[in-house]
Amino acid sequence: MGTTFQKTIRTAGLIGKYHSPEVAASLPPLADFLRERGVRVLVEEGLAGSAKVSGGETASYEAMGRQADVAVVLGGDGTMLYAARRLAGFGVPLAGVNQGRLGFMTDIARDDMIAGIADLLAGKFTAEPRLLLAGEIWRDGARLGGSLAFNEVVVNKGDLGRMIEMQVEVDGEFVYLLRADGMIVATPTGSTAYALSANGPILHPGVAGIAIVPLCPHALSNRPISIADGSRVDITLISTHDGRVHFDGQERFDVRAGDRVRIARSPLSVTLLHPPGYSYYAMLREKLHWSEPPKR
């Protein structure tokens, strides 16, 4: 899966979780290793403010997007999600060093960081494109706002302790009225995130699809469904209670009755870089503990 990434890396961007002792400890040796091999190092400005690196240049996400041949992300999946959304418009491929708990998207183990980056510089990594979703909120014919999502767009009840009601359409065709805690619209990447905890399907990254997963539906017949990645999903809030729209759990908008959330595949994409020997199924076995005998 994926194609060999053999681009000559002259400039590398370093992105990491802020105020993380693990990231602060990993950053200097990584920057030193890159510079010793003639690679220019750009350190994301927020990270530079919380972790000291000698010899690295401070750069905004925009500057990094314009100049970097690759971005190395130190952290967990949340850090990777944020970096992916910020750099999506620039086409910078991302390699992740796992400093978090699960690490579905950060493939390089912290203890193998230097060896992994050496393989990256040697052209031994593979590149895999992943789709993004673009979501918009509309009210009375006017666009209120929107954002990108690498994992999922979630429409939910916000702070309410009760269900909300939504009308769901795909490509302009009525699907159903849903009374539930909310709805998740997930990419294949996001199918192993929030959608999985809501009993959604796991979609292989090579599947050109989008998962629609109800959150605690009132009717047990409202099951998750996978649709084509070229489809458009419209979710109209018809409840008398307000709701909320979340993009990857990192950006949110408040919505009210009559508002429409329109979700479709973005023309932008994210490229993840995987080390030698990477296997999607092996990753699932490791993270989801498949094949392990039950504990007694």
Domains belonging to the chain, first-starting first, are 3-125+275-288 (3.40.50.10330), 132-266 (2.60.200.30)
Closest listed residue to residue 130, CA positions, set 81, 86, 187, 76: 187
111 a catalytic residue: no
Q: What is the DSSP string of 257-288?
A: TT-EEEEEEEEEEEEEEE-TT--HHHHHHHHH
Q: Which of 77, 107, 181, 248 is catalytic?
A: 77
pLDDT digits (tens, 9 = 90+) for 38-81: 999 999 999 988 887 877 899 999 999 999 999 999 999 999 99
H/E run at residue 132: strand 126-139
According to the model, what pLDDT value does residue 99 have? 84
pLDDT bracket for residue 103 (50, 70, 90): confident
Give the C-alpha distances (Å, rounded to integers) separating 266 from 88, 180, 235. Answer: 10, 27, 17
According to the model, what pLDDT value does residue 42 have? 97
Q: What is the pTM of this model?
A: 0.94
Q: What is the mean pLDDT of the chain?
A: 94
H helical segments located in 109-210: 113-121, 194-197
According to the model, what pLDDT value does residue 121 have? 97
Separation of alpha carbons 168 and 170, rounded Å: 7
**pLDDT(1) > 70:** no
Region 199-220 average pLDDT: 95
Closest listed residue to residue 105, CA positions, set 271, 250, 291: 271
pLDDT digits (tens, 9 = 90+) for 243-270: 999 999 999 999 999 999 999 999 999 9
Is 221 or 155 the better-scoring residue by pLDDT? Answer: 155
